[in-house]
Amino acid sequence: MFDDLALRRRTLLAALAGAAAVPILGSPARAASPKVYIDPGHGGTDSGAVGNGLQEKALTLDISLQLRSILLANWNVDVRMSRTTDITRSLAYRTDDANAWGADLFVSVHINSGGGTGFESYRYLTADAATTNLHNALHPRVIAGMRSVGAVTDRGLKSANFHVLRETTMPAVLTENLFIDTVADANLLKRADFITATARAHAQGIASYLGLGSTTPPTFSVIVDNATAGRFTASANWGSSAYSSQRYGADYRFASPTPASDAAWFKVDIPAAGNYRIEVRHPADPGYNSTTPHVIVTASGNQTLNVDQRSNGGVWRSLGTFALAAGDRNLVAVSRWTSAAGYVVADAVRVTRV
Ligand SMILES: [Zn+2]
């Protein structure tokens, strides 16, 4: 150990002596912000694995979008994704895009299937040291993050000849986040806190690999449904329906537009002042409202965002990240006050600290 220190010191002194003329070896210039490429597996016409009412393509996108939010909120990084919506991307697109962008690392997020249980992760068959470092930084953190929520089997660090691992020119790791066709795993994948913990752990692994410091993003994620006791209020003018299979939970509420204050409110107990991502989920129908106002009570006043409820039903749609004050209060409203025609719909809200 002492010899190593002495050697490092001599090397450092030698490097400093020549620093005016030559760059210090071993310290390649890196862009001010490391470039992180996130690849949510599957999408569009390729649903990936399915089971227990879940689709791989939706889970990978959910984890990946949260991963991006957590990275951007906590560290100085650039993030690019192979997709941010439910669209089809070829494997070649994913790796070409990451290579062209000049990513510093590539993480592909998947859900397993085939009747096993637990978490496993992959690097390419002949990985270099940097890839191995990324793999070693990610895997144990993801396991620990998952186990903060539930029992998860560690299936280990593996290697495979996957396209996204082989064709990327930067360190690349692919994670298989539990088995969609195993009930115990699926039950975890259905939990918002598990998805967020998985995303956080990926972020921590990436930050550790990049040497960005040990910021630990706090965990908080909650879903409020229109049926959640004590957390949803709407007047009798709001009907209840289970018409659309895209609903969250048993039913949703709907009302005709009208120029009056008769909003449906979702109440959320915010644990601490900070930045939170707010998402809404609603069934979609061509006859629903194109401009449904959503009011968010932020730390600096109310903000209103309009949601087109004619499409993108049955998925979490981000309204953005907002600075919120601590406390239990009505946080998100769906307003009827819109000049567009068609029902406005209130179904569910998800709030996640980033
Ligand atoms: Zn997959």
Q: Does residue 182 fall inside a structural domain?
A: yes
Co-location of 103 and 145 in the same domain: yes
Q: What b/e sequence results for 90-101 when a residue is b if at least 16 CB atoms lie within 10 Å of its CB, and e otherwise?
A: ebeebbebbeee
Q: Does residue 30 fall inside a structural domain?
A: no
CATH classification at residue 174: 3.40.630.40
Q: Does residue 5 fall inside a structural domain?
A: no
User: Among residues 56, 120, 167, 176, which one is catalytic?
Assistant: 176
Co-location of 194 and 238 in the same domain: no
- C-alpha to C-alpha distance for 258 and 289, rounded to whole angstroms: 12
- C-alpha to C-alpha distance for 120 and 175, rounded to whole angstroms: 6
Helices (H), 102-189: 129-147, 163-166, 183-189
Ligand 1 center to 58 CA (angstroms): 11
For residue 217, the model assigns a pLDDT of 56
Co-location of 48 and 171 in the same domain: yes
State which residues form the domain around 286.
221-353
Residue 176 falls in the annotated catalytic set? yes
For residue 213, the model assigns a pLDDT of 74
Ligand 1 center to 258 CA (angstroms): 45
Co-location of 71 and 43 in the same domain: yes
Q: Does residue 97 fall inside a structural domain?
A: yes
Low-confidence ranges of the chain (pLDDT < 50): 1-31
Co-location of 186 and 268 in the same domain: no
Q: Does residue 216 fall inside a structural domain?
A: no
Ligand 1 center to 297 CA (angstroms): 38
Q: Does residue 13 fall inside a structural domain?
A: no
Which of 210, 243, 266 is the C-terminal boundary of a domain?
210
For residue 4, the model assigns a pLDDT of 34
Q: Does residue 268 fall inside a structural domain?
A: yes
Co-location of 143 and 112 in the same domain: yes
Are 303 and 245 contacting, i.e. CB atoms less than 8 angstroms apart? Answer: no
Co-location of 44 and 192 in the same domain: yes
- C-alpha to C-alpha distance for 61 and 42, rounded to whole angstroms: 9
Co-location of 264 and 290 in the same domain: yes
Ligand 1 center to 40 CA (angstroms): 9
Co-location of 186 and 287 in the same domain: no
Q: Does residue 25 fall inside a structural domain?
A: no
Ligand 1 center to 245 CA (angstroms): 25
Number of structural domains the chain divides into: 2
Which of 155, 178, 210 is the C-terminal boundary of a domain?
210
Ion ligand 1: residue ranges with CB closer than 5 A:
41, 48, 110
Ligand 1 center to 112 CA (angstroms): 6
- C-alpha to C-alpha distance for 90 and 41, rounded to whole angstroms: 10
- C-alpha to C-alpha distance for 332 and 281, rounded to whole angstroms: 12
- C-alpha to C-alpha distance for 353 and 145, rounded to whole angstroms: 15
Co-location of 273 and 184 in the same domain: no
Place of tokens 């499409």: 311
How far lies 231's CA from each of 100, 261, 316, 321, in Å?
47, 19, 19, 21
Co-location of 194 and 154 in the same domain: yes
Are 224 and 267 contacting, i.e. CB atoms less than 8 angstroms apart? Answer: yes
For residue 218, the model assigns a pLDDT of 55
